[in-house]
Amino acid sequence: MNYMTKHLTLAAAITLAMATLGAGAARAEDAPAAKPDNEVSFNAALTTDYRYRGISQTRLKPALQGGADWTHNPSGFYAGTWLSTIKWIDDAGGDAKVEWDVYGGKRGDLGGGFSYDVGGLYYFYPSNDLHPSANTFELYGAVSYGPATLKYSHSTTNLFGFADSKNSGYFDASVNQEIQDGYILNLHVGRQNVKNNSAFSYTDWKVGVTKDYGVVTVSLAAVKATTDVYTSPRNGKDLAKMGAVLTVSKIF
């Protein structure tokens, strides 16, 4: 603030001081509370189709999802867990009905409006009984600028049960931009390369919109993967076909 006190009369100086104190008090009242060092949140969602990288994990059926997250604000370190009901392991001859993810990493500021996010993610399918196992671990790194993010994920194990698929990679770009009255436009495109299994590599995309209504957040998206080899052994349905996905979620 520029305190222009030079050449002021005593009365004007007193008036300015009182105004300054009043403005300072108002700003103090309006300032947001400082974030605690440690934050914990919980989330729950119901979706009409659990699509992961464009491929339905639930045979185009609904899924129930939920998780928990911890963040250490001073350092940017975080960890969390997330679960979803699935059907694809059963369809592949296994016995897991739940996907259980555990992840952790670090977020931070790179300066100039850029930020980063690096970490690891383990996809666990309890008692999946597939050979090779569906359990997968990926390392990931992302750079964001404003509403745009570029991310790369790299598997250090076989990828979701594909034989000899270690070192598979997924590169994606996304934009989440407010367009009007709290409506967020969601744009995404990604490329999944399955090492030594090129027939199963593909590109996926999503166009959607999200709105936080306070009580719940609602999102609606059109999703598709450009492949015809991901079909359900149960009913032959194309798990990559374009479809509308409606999700209702809540963070506690």
Residue 64 to residue 42: CA distance in whole angstroms:
14
Residue 80 to residue 78: CA distance in whole angstroms:
7
Number of structural domains found in the chain: 1
pLDDT averaged over the chain?
A: 90
At residue 18, the pLDDT reads: 38
* In a domain? residue 159: yes
Residue with tokens 């185009």: 60
The CATH number for 167's domain is 2.40.160.40
* In a domain? residue 30: no
Q: What is the pLDDT of residues 131-179, one digit of tens each?
A: 999 999 999 999 999 999 999 999 999 999 999 999 999 999 999 999 9
* In a domain? residue 3: no
107 and 76 in contact (C-beta within 8 Å)?
yes
> Is 5's pLDDT higher than 70?
no
Measured between alpha carbons, how far apart are the two ends of the chain, in Å?
39
> Is 55's pLDDT higher than 90?
yes
Greater confidence (74 vs 6) lies with 74
At residue 67, the pLDDT reads: 98
* In a domain? residue 18: no
Q: Which domain holds residue 87?
A: 37-251
**Banded model confidence at residue 7, pLDDT cuts 50, 70, 90:** very low
At residue 6, the pLDDT reads: 35
At residue 30, the pLDDT reads: 60
> Is 16's pLDDT higher than 70?
no
What tokens appear for 74 in the block?
A: 């001073």
At residue 32, the pLDDT reads: 66
Handedness of CA 171, 175, 124, 77 (dihedral sign): positive
What tokens appear for 138 in the block?
A: 């990926």
Residue 44 to residue 182: CA distance in whole angstroms:
21
* In a domain? residue 43: yes
* In a domain? residue 228: yes
Rg (CA), the chain: 24
Handedness of CA 131, 137, 143, 145 (dihedral sign): positive
> Is 197's pLDDT higher than 60?
yes
Q: Closest Cα to residue 92, out of 138, 63, 132?
A: 132
> Is 4's pLDDT higher than 90?
no
* In a domain? residue 81: yes
Residue 150 to residue 171: CA distance in whole angstroms:
8
* In a domain? residue 10: no
Q: What is the pLDDT of residues 127-139, one digit of tens each?
A: 899 999 999 999 9
What is the enclosing helix (H) or strand (E) of 27? helix 10-30
**Banded model confidence at residue 33, pLDDT cuts 50, 70, 90:** confident
At residue 34, the pLDDT reads: 83
Number of H helices, E strands in the chain: 2, 14
45 and 222 in contact (C-beta within 8 Å)?
no
Residue 170 to residue 124: CA distance in whole angstroms:
18
194 and 165 in contact (C-beta within 8 Å)?
yes
Q: Closest Cα to residue 138, out of 102, 86, 111?
A: 102
At residue 29, the pLDDT reads: 52
Predicted TM-score (pTM) of this structure? 0.86
Q: Closest Cα to residue 223, out of 198, 240, 248, 202?
A: 240
